[in-house]
Structure 1
Amino acid sequence: MNQNLLDLTVAIPTYNGATRLIQVLEALRQQVQTENIAWEIIIIDNNSSDQTAQIVKDYQATWTQNYPLNYYFEGQQGLAFARERAIQEAKGQWIAFLDDDNIPASDWIATAYDFGNHHPQAGAFSGQIHGEFEVKPPENFKKIAAFLAIREHGPKPFQFDPDHLRLPPGAGLVVRKQAWREAVPNTPKVVGNQGDVLARGDDYAPLLYLHKMGWEILYNPAMHINHQIPHWRLERDYLLSLARACGLATCQLRMINAKTGEKPGIIVRTIAGNLRRMIGHRLKYGEKLQSELIPAFEMEFYLGSMMSPLFYIKNTITGKGSAGQ
């Protein structure tokens, strides 16, 4: 187990990110006000089949910064496993996660480190995430922007509400390594892609474990990153599959901090509540669900959420990703 030798680690999990990594690394080379911060960058290559390893090797060959750039290969596919590998390898007391399409502002490291030092009860915190779009988003996109990890919560810090699954995404998340190691299972209980079933919950699951141990999850408005959104992530098929996937994780996430006696009630409320939402949504939009993307997205999310107890029960029986065990 690595000891905490540095102040902060920037961890970049990536899968086939060779064409995207360059911008992230260049942004990290331009960080300001880090003279008094001991930090490092680690790349977690999550079983890529492109030139990711070579890109990092080329950077390392000419790397002259006073903070190291290290590369690790994680062969077990899945973001949860890549992040757990980052936790194992990181030497920083704080671990700042960036996806390979997240471009941090020039003061992102400095503002993150300063915020962490001033909030001793913070187990994790996140900042503002702005969309950088390849094509114009659809009408009323703001209603679903959070599903694509775009979060602009305004200028005031606040504490997130894990009990109602109001949490920041993993993109741009900064976590206290000690808190993660004490609270989050070493073997991730995956609330994500499983076989041919797509579910999205890996961002929230670790935060719920941190909350269970009493750590605060906070918002730091001074941190800014740009999230690059390619055209295909705004296409109908992708967005509807994303909506369903996020919905399917709902019940598993709620079970993480639920007591045994509370679980049957959560299952009933999840099914009944989302069935009611679906009926109301159908009555409101009718045939427009076929033509208007955002209402269709919301319907798919309600449908996935309604189905999520069945997904949870199946995984509990098979032992796959049973987050509440």
Structure 2
Amino acid sequence: MVDVTVAIPTFNSEKRLPEVLDRLREQINTEHFSWEIIVVDNNSTDKTAKIVQEYQANWSEVAPLHYTLEVEQGAAFARQRAVEEARGTLIGFLDDDNLPDSNWVAAAYAFGQAHPEAGAYGSQIQGNFEIEPPENFKKIACFLALVDRGAEASLYEPRKKILPPGAGLVVRKQAWLAYVPKRLVLNHKGREAKLASEDLEATLHIQRAGWEIWYNPEMRVYHQIPRWRLEKDYLISLIRCVGLSRYHIRMLGLKNWQRPVAFPAYLLNDLRRLMLHLIKYRGDQRDLIAACERELLLSSLISPFFLFKNKYLELGQAKIFGLREDINSLPGLVDRKVSTAP
């Protein structure tokens, strides 16, 4: 066992990963605890594995650098593999475009020691933008995992229904293994799956189990935002995935008896907010931020029907697959019966 594991789920990061590893090599104030780093390669087709091998050849033994492969595609699967492989009591997640401050690991360890009731806690995440973001960008900054809740640590209260993103998140391994399902509903397999927020789903399971979730500004991370992540098509696609996932996150945060009442209430409120938005902007397509807000409202309204359809489609596919397996096994059963007949 070690005190802290830094886990980096990654896909095709030969150009991004070196800077993250360089930042981790430069961490300070880590002499009084033990830590390690795990790169979880989620089926990369570039030189990611080779990059890790090159770093391992010249890496300090003080904080061992490990490599593991997760063949099932999706960020949720890569994070789950990281948790299973980690030896640390605390597990800090960094995306392959997250650059931590030089004291990030030390701050993560210190906060975990000072707050044993914290099952997870998030970083302050600033954006390093390739180009200047659009006006009013703060309204949608959270969708790019940018978080600044001030200079003081604060508790994410369940009633406010706000949680930190997976980037820069530290979790207590004990809490994750006990309460986070190995296969989340929102298993994120990229934009083509039309779903997102699997990191919020995992953290919400921990919060529902009674663990506290915190914001720790002493852990500062810089998220690299290239030009293409501020383009309209990308932002609309990203926010659509978040919106379509919203119903599951909302219901997961409620008790069973609350859900039948909450469903129509959320539906009517989403419809009301969408109508007010359309009246305010009157279909103006030039305002990027307004278009993103409109997409969030629309996809949130559709979310319960989208998830309901997909859930039963997947259930039907599973039943068909199971039936196919049963049918395929029949010839073998017949052969065995014939061969054992007197």
When normalised by structure 1's length, the TM-score is 0.93
Q: How many residues align?
A: 315
Task: Give the SS at the match of 1:203.
Answer: helix
Task: Give the SS at the match of 1:70.
Answer: strand
Question: Does the CA-based 8 Å contact 1:84-1:188 persist in structure 2?
Answer: no
Aligned match of 2:303: 308
Give 1:221-260 correspondences, 5 Å limit: 221-260=217-256
Question: Does the CA-based 8 Å contact 1:18-1:55 persist in structure 2?
Answer: yes
Aligned match of 1:291: 286
Give 1:155's match in structure 2, choosing from 126, 151, 172. Answer: 151
Tell me by how many angstroms 1:274 deviates: 1.1
CA distance in 2, matches of 1:222, 1:194: 31
- Structure 2 residue 139 is matched with structure 1 residue 113: no
Higher Cα radius of gyration: 2
Aligned-partner residue type, residue 250 of structure 2: R
Gaps of 5+ in 2: 316-342
Over 3 Å counting, the alpha-carbon distance change for 1:8 and 1:174 in structure 2 is same
Give 2:45's match in structure 1, choosing from 43, 49, 56. Answer: 49
Question: Does the CA-based 8 Å contact 2:120-2:171 persist in structure 1?
Answer: yes
Tell me by how many angstroms 1:63 deviates: 1.4
Moved more, 111-120 or 279-288: 279-288
CA distance in 1, matches of 2:189, 2:55: 32
Give 1:188's match in structure 2, choosing from 170, 184, 190. Answer: 184
Aligned match of 2:71: 75
- Structure 2 residue 50 is matched with structure 1 residue 40: no
Task: Name the % identity.
Answer: 49
CA distance in 1, matches of 2:190, 2:267: 22
Give 1:63's match in structure 2, choosing from 59, 66, 82. Answer: 59
Give 1:203-222 correspondences, 5 Å limit: 203-222=199-218
CA distance in 1, matches of 2:208, 2:85: 24
Question: Does the CA-based 8 Å contact 2:75-2:187 persist in structure 1?
Answer: no
Aligned match of 2:93: 97
Question: Does the CA-based 8 Å contact 1:243-1:300 persist in structure 2?
Answer: yes
- Structure 2 residue 10 is matched with structure 1 residue 14: yes
Question: Does the CA-based 8 Å contact 1:251-1:266 persist in structure 2?
Answer: no
Aligned match of 1:179: 175
CA distance in 1, matches of 2:14, 2:185: 28
Question: Does the CA-based 8 Å contact 1:191-1:252 persist in structure 2?
Answer: no
Tell me by how many angstroms 1:195 deviates: 8.8
Give 2:123's match in structure 1, choosing from 116, 121, 127. Answer: 127
Higher helix share: 2
When normalised by structure 2's length, the TM-score is 0.89
Task: Give the SS at the match of 2:198.
Answer: coil
Aligned-partner residue type, residue 309 of structure 1: P
Moved more, 157-166 or 222-231: 157-166
Deviation string 1:147-182 (CA, Å, 9 cap, x unpaired) is 100111101111113444301000000000001111
Question: Does the CA-based 8 Å contact 2:191-2:241 persist in structure 1?
Answer: no
CA distance in 1, matches of 2:167, 2:158: 17
CA distance in 1, matches of 2:207, 2:71: 29
CA distance in 1, matches of 2:150, 2:232: 29
Aligned match of 1:170: 166
Deviation string 1:248-305 (CA, Å, 9 cap, x unpaired) is 11101122243333333332222211111111001111142x0000011000000110
Question: Does the CA-based 8 Å contact 2:191-2:238 persist in structure 1?
Answer: no
Moved more, 218-227 or 251-260: 251-260
Aligned-partner residue type, residue 89 of structure 2: Q
Moved more, 55-64 or 84-93: 55-64
Over 3 Å counting, the alpha-carbon distance change for 1:192 and 1:252 in structure 2 is farther
